[in-house]
Structure 1
Amino acid sequence: MFTGIITDIGEVAVVEPVPGGLRARIRSAYDLAGVALGASIACDGVCLTVTDKAAGGGSGGGWFAVDVSGETVSRSTLGGWAPGRRVNLERSLKVGDELGGHIVSGHVDGVGEVVEARPDGESTRVVIAAPAALAGFIAPKGSIAVDGASLTVNEVEDGAEGGFGGGPGGGARFGVNLIPHTRRWTTFADMAPGRRVNLEIDVLARYVARLKEVAGGG
């Protein structure tokens, strides 16, 4: 379980295909001596298991390795990883930690695409096209995880022409604002149109939709 508050920007060092998925090694500033094998780290919003690691010595940091299944590759942007790619990282939530963002599971629901990124005062205004299957779960003033970062939805345009993943009129577009702090401490400093991003809907929206379905209301 995570909160969507990014705590490190890692860098992909090695990516190699393996049967049914891929294996990657990620450089990180985390004190990896304190990260157990089998621990969970959210990488661009995807919960992955640490399978190997090496601490970085007295200066801290080092690298950790993860295995990515074919299912995860098909539902996320991780299939496009290459050496040098910067990655949002968050270690799993501990009991007693501050819940600074919102409840994030690390289970990506789909991939969106940035269609607009422009200055808005000191912030950056970003519009993201989401797949049609996720449109009903995105609400103004609600929460969404974008590449693992907890963001507040400003507005939603349903049935937007060219809705990503849904054909013309088949998806939705939503807007978020990136404040300077968020841009500095995430990979969003280079946010630009055409960038594909991992999306995770609010877990509360997921359960409300399921309850309505079971009750016959959806």
Structure 2
Amino acid sequence: MFTGLVSDVGAVLSVSGEGDLRRITIQASYDPASIALGASIACSGPCLTAVSVEPAEGGCVFAVDAAAETLARTTVGSWVAGTRINLERSLKIGDELGGHLVTGHVDGLAEIVERETVTADAWGASERFTLRAPAAVKKFIAEKGSVCLDGTSLTVNSVQDDLFSVLLIPHTLQVTTWGERRAGDRLNLEVDLIARYAARLAEAGAD
């Protein structure tokens, strides 16, 4: 379980394998002694398992395996050496829940339709992103609700059919990969866990 609060931005070092299984090595600033084999790490949204960990200058290099479902539903299949990704370690009992409950199970890909500067001051510029949600999950996105995009917990500002918007403050743009995002980019989208279950219960009650 995660919160959608990014704790590091890693970089893909290599991608090996073809077809339905790929091994991806990622450089991060995490202490290698703190990552156990089999640990769950959210990598720009998807929860992936660390299958190897080695010390490296400035932190560590860890490897994850991505199988068919992950490659089909997320952006992982498009990662290459140099791709920067948002990272978050899994929650521990007693950790602060500063974002919202995130499982690391991606529901689909959202596409950025527009990026616009909303305010700019001495601390930087805030940016509004308008995105298009996949048809199958747009019903789970509500104004003032939560979404997880590329591993980042965000509040939905507005919703109109399959379009929704989020606002990124300067700090978030600086410490995540959001500063690099442009119209046309696709992001890993996980809808709010509570919204998903509420909708399912409503459907069951209508039967």
Q: Give the TM-score, by structure 2 length.
A: 0.95
The sequence identity of aligned pairs, in percent, is 52
* Structure 1: runs of 5 or more not aligned: 159-171
2:129 corresponds in structure 1 to 126
1:204 corresponds in structure 2 to 194
Please state whether the residue corresponding to 1:215 is helix, strand or coil: helix
Which of 170, 184, 190 in structure 2 is aligned with 1:194? 184
Shift of 1:17: 2.1
* Structure 2: runs of 5 or more not aligned: 120-124
In the aligned structure 2, how far is the partner of 1:19 from the partner of 1:202?
A: 31
In the aligned structure 1, how far is the partner of 2:164 from the partner of 2:87?
A: 24
1:36 corresponds in structure 2 to 36
1:215 corresponds in structure 2 to 205
Does the CA contact (< 8 Å) of 2:20 and 2:71 recur in 1?
Answer: no
Please state whether the residue corresponding to 2:136 is helix, strand or coil: helix
Q: Give the TM-score, by structure 1 length.
A: 0.90
In the aligned structure 2, how far is the partner of 1:38 from the partner of 1:190?
A: 30
Pairs aligned (count): 202
In the aligned structure 2, how far is the partner of 1:204 from the partner of 1:14?
A: 36
Shift of 1:19: 5.2
Deviations 1:87-132 (A, max 9, x none): 0000000000000100000000000110101111020010011111
2:122 corresponds in structure 1 to none
Shift of 1:60: 4.0
In the aligned structure 2, how far is the partner of 1:156 from the partner of 1:72?
A: 27
Deviations 1:1-34 (A, max 9, x none): 0000000000000011245221100000011121
In the aligned structure 1, how far is the partner of 2:158 from the partner of 2:40?
A: 32
Shift of 1:55: 1.2
RMSD: 1.0
Return structure 1 stretches of 4+ with deviation > 4 angstroms: none
